[in-house]
Amino acid sequence: MSETARRLSATAAAPLDLPERFEDMLERLHVVRLPMVTRFRGITEREVALFAGPAGWAEFSPFTEYGTAEASRWLRAGLEFAGFVPTLAEAAPAAASSRGFVPERVSVNGTLPACAPNEVESILSRYGTVSTIKAKVAEHGIDSLDEDLERLRELRRLFPDTTLRLDANAGYSLPDALEACEAFAGFELQYFEQPVAGVEGLAQLREALTRRDIPIVLAADESIRKAEDPLRVAELGAAEVIIVKVQPLGGIGQALSVIAASGLPAVVSSALESSVGLAAGAELAARLPRTRASRDILGESVACGLGTGRLFTADVVFESASLTPVDGSIPAARITPDPDRLQQLAVDPGRFDWWTRRLQQCWTFLRRGGTAEV
């Protein structure tokens, strides 16, 4: 691990000055269930916990399969955004100031889940006019290749001039990734996100693509947000773009520090959040540094993966106030949930109790600097 990575890790792992019980600080906790338009990431509804702090509302929504250590980073991000704990900002000031201004709106891409070709148009129509689309592939690894190609052909038929990105969520082995890359190269991709697992796997794939002269730019997602050393992607030259998400990285400050330390172009993406969680992503996206490499690969206006509000049939605010894209962008603004929506979308008591136990486990973990036996 590099010295910079050690400093970032040590800062993020420092114990937080929190009371023993989260109820002593978080006066209002709401857990809601958001139904989805179509199956995405293997789920058809998303549960998220919401709470208010001195700076406003924040979200805690790690996926249910995540362990306490990983989920605790999501809680730290929420506490930071709500104003309960300070920002982790070793490199954040330099990153934030490199643009010279903070825009009121940020560009977003449309997201196409793994779906039947005849669903492509209806799903993407929910986004309105967008210049960039990210399509999910490899739901069943290489066995999905024919279905993926059929879906992408339909997408290109409907949107021939749209910038296209792919995301495999580390669904391929190295040999399968090479086969898939050869098949996808003709779609003129902006980049291909995390075809294989691990930083070393990405580095091996990039070397193989270069040897075979396959013109695909690789982006790292899981190798950033799940790795012990998120800067190893840059050190090994494993990818040319990094995907950053506020909650998995532990907050806006930590995300900006990782971006600045890596020196790589960055795209902010959501973790399938409500509009409250998307607001933190929009703030980070508005503060992205712009470099020559970023402009060369991503263009003048970076389309971030924050349009996922369109994947839900309901949100914690009404449509007019939600962070759903209009003409390819969303506002960089905080969100206050609607009380009626919080009540209508509330989970049952059993699920609420499950989330309170989980939040307390993560809370204890953060209080003790990640050394708690929970």
Query: Which sequence positions are flagged as catalytic?
Result: 136, 245
Q: How far, in Å, CA of 256 to CA of 271, rounded?
A: 17
The residue with tokens 């998303």 is 46
Q: Are 66 and 291 in contact (CB under 8 A)?
A: no
Phi-psi region at 251: left, alpha or beta (left = phi > 0; alpha = psi -120 to 50): left
* Residue 15 exposure: Cα atoms within 13 Å on the Cβ side: 10
Q: Is 44 exposed, middle or buried (0-12, 13-18, 19+ CB in 10 A)?
A: exposed
Closest CA to 234 of 175, 170, 293, 283: 293
The residue length of the chain stands at 374
Residue type, 144: S
